[in-house]
Amino acid sequence: GAGVSQSPRYKVAKRGQDVALRCDPISGHVSLFWYQQALGQGPEFLTYFQNEAQLDKSGLPSDRFFAERPEGSVSTLKIQRTQQEDSAVYLCASSSGINTEAFFGQGTRLTVV
């Protein structure tokens, strides 16, 4: 595709439910990032992949959050036992390498009820 694609665009989950958010980066992009953007806030870094290797997961807020990129392209962010404070827009970004422009997806808006 022409840009970073995220699905679903919107997700409503009941508290305690598990969710999986998908990111299709730009083809050939080595670096992939996940960010969490709460209402009225800027995006906050969650985790970073270089190809299939997760090199930094320091921003994941708890062990309920898990991300993978098994073949170095598509990535999935999984949140187990969702809680209300997990409600946010989850953004994925990819770039062709270190210190190159990051291109963002349109995000997945997660609402936990």
Partner 1 sequence: AQRVTQPEKLLSVFKGAPVELKCNYSYSGSPELFWYVQYSRQRLQLLLRHISRESIKGFTADLNKGETSFHLKKPFAQEEDAAMYYCALSGGYSGGGADGLTFGKGTHLIIQP
Per CB under 8 A, 70 contacts partner 1: no
Q: Which residue reads 């991300």 in tokens?
A: 67
Q: Are the beta carbons of 79 and 34 closer than 8 angstroms?
A: no
Per CB under 8 A, 43 contacts partner 1: yes
Q: Are the beta carbons of 23 and 77 closer than 8 angstroms?
A: yes
* 23 DSSP β-pair partners: 6, 75
Taking the least distance from each CB to partner 1, the nearer of 27 and 58 is 58
Q: Are the beta carbons of 15 and 111 closer than 8 angstroms?
A: no
Per CB under 8 A, 1 contacts partner 1: no
Per CB under 8 A, 66 contacts partner 1: no
* Of the residues 24, 44, 80, 109, which one makes contact with partner 1 according to CB under 8 A: 44
Q: Are the beta carbons of 22 and 40 closer than 8 angstroms?
A: no
Other CB atoms closer than 10 Å to residue 40's CB: what's the count?
5
Other CB atoms closer than 10 Å to residue 53's CB: what's the count?
10
* Of the residues 26, 29, 47, 77, which one makes contact with partner 1 according to CB under 8 A: 47
Taking the least distance from each CB to partner 1, the nearer of 8 and 16 is 8
> Residue 88 Cβ, how far from partner 1 at the closest point, in Å?
13
Residues that bind partner 1 (CB under 8 A): 3-4, 31, 33, 35, 40-45, 47-48, 50, 55-56, 58-59, 91, 95, 98-107
